Amino acid sequence: MAGNQEYKLQRLVALCLLGFLLFNYPILALFNLATSFLGIPLIYAYIFAAWALLIALMAIVVEQTQR
């Protein structure tokens, strides 16, 4: 049980660091273009997609059962 909690904690810390990386200036600058994706400015589409990906990954980590 304690090993599973430590595993989840490590995964959540890694996801937090991934979030910092995804929303940091150099990566955001790559998507700050005057184009659109499905009628949405590219930067907004990227921010929403990255945010949704982080939430989905966190849900997967938290809901994993012990194997």
What's residue 3's pLDDT? Answer: 75
Q: Residue 4 corresponds to which tokens in the numbers above?
A: 């599973």
Sequence-distant (≥ 6) Cβ neighbours of residue 48 within 8 angstroms: 40
The sign of the torsion formed by the CA atoms of 30, 36, 37, 43 equals: positive
Q: Which of 24-28, 37-41, 53-57, 63-67 has the lowest mean pLDDT?
A: 63-67
The domain ranges of the chain are 2-63
Sequence-distant (≥ 6) Cβ neighbours of residue 45 within 8 angstroms: 31, 36, 37, 38
pLDDT tens digits for range 42-63? 999 999 999 999 999 999 999 9
